[in-house]
Amino acid sequence: MVTDRIADRHDPAADRSGPPYRLVILDFDGTLADTFPWFTRVLPGVADRYGFRRPATHEAESLRALEARAVMRHLGVPLWKLPLIARHMRGLAARDAGALAPFPGIPALLVRLRAGGLSLALVSSNREDVVRRVLGPGSAGLIDLYACGTALFGKARRFRAVARASGVAPDRILCLGDELRDHAAATRAGLAFGAVTWGYTRAEALAAAGPAHLFATPEAVAAALLPGAA
């Protein structure tokens, strides 16, 4: 369910002044939260449960250069089982949420973006209660809109729904994520994409996809989106 606080505080008069974007749509896993080590720990058990191949240790880095569909083909993931796998993974994340945490610099980034006048939304396949628990009440409260429980390849539709609900012009919206499928979804939704290199996908693969922005640190995000800010 999409809940909205953005439109109520949006000022159309500010559309063409200030920061280059008015709304940032955030990804969670690998962008805000450092969940890749957890993912690699639980994946072998998920593979055994749902009948696909466990990735070999030596494959880890090469798989991080691939788009999600290519990874699933490589591991032989049955596509018809994706909803079951996603539901199981969400359950595991809920079980282990207490051991997960945001990346260093993420809480400060969210504070800076909001203080700089940007609205924040979050689109994730994870559950909203898990996202809020991992971020903590302070950081979670800075996000205006949550669209959680999104299908693995359903982000484009959610991005469009968030954009409509926000009342912000599409060319003033940036999607921030760490995977090639996030980039593809933003492109299908007609929105700019900022790739972060600290998450699941390798930096060179993200760069080759040609995102509008490529960020190596949370501080770089703030510098680009809040030009002239101290």
- Write the DSSP string, 31-52: TTB--HHHHHHHHHHHHHHHT-
Let me know whether 14 and 123 are in one domain.
yes
CATH number for position 106 = 3.40.50.1000
Is residue 1 very low, low, confident or very high in pLDDT (cuts 50, 70, 90)? Answer: very low
Q: Are residues 141 and 195 in the same domain?
A: yes
Spatial neighbors of 104 by CB under 8 A, at least 6 apart, are 218
Q: Quick check: 175 and 164 in contact, CB under 8 A?
A: no
- pLDDT tens for each residue of 143-153: 999 999 999 89
Please count the structural domains in the chain: 2
Over residues 150-173, mean pLDDT: 95
Residue 98: DSSP 8-state? G
Identify the helix (H) or strand (E) that includes residue 30.
Answer: none
* pLDDT tens readout for residues 83-131: 999 999 999 999 999 999 999 999 999 999 999 999 999 999 999 999 9
Q: Is residue 44 part of a domain?
A: yes
Beta bridge partners of residue 178, listed in sequence order: none
User: What average pLDDT does this structure show over 217-230?
Assistant: 89
Tell me whether residue 230 is in a domain: no
Give the predicted TM-score (pTM) of the model. Answer: 0.91
Same domain? For 51 and 82 the reply is yes
Contact 10, 165 (CB under 8 A): no
Q: In the prediction, which pLDDT does 9 show?
A: 47
Range of the domain at 72: 36-99
**One-letter amino acid identity for 145?**
L
Neighbours of 48 (CB within 10 A): 11
Q: How far apart are the first and last CA of the chain?
A: 36
C-alpha span between 6 and 115 (Å, rounded): 15
Nearest to 63 by CA among 152, 185, 54, 23: 54
Q: Which of 55, 84, 99 is the last residue of a domain?
A: 99
| Residue 1 within any structural domain of the chain | no
Query: Average of pLDDT values for 65-74?
Result: 93
- Structure tokens given for 179: 């995977």
User: DSSP readout, 39-95?
Assistant: HHHHHHHHHHHHT-PPPPGGGHHHHTTS-HHHHHHHHT--GGGHHHHHHHHHHHHHH
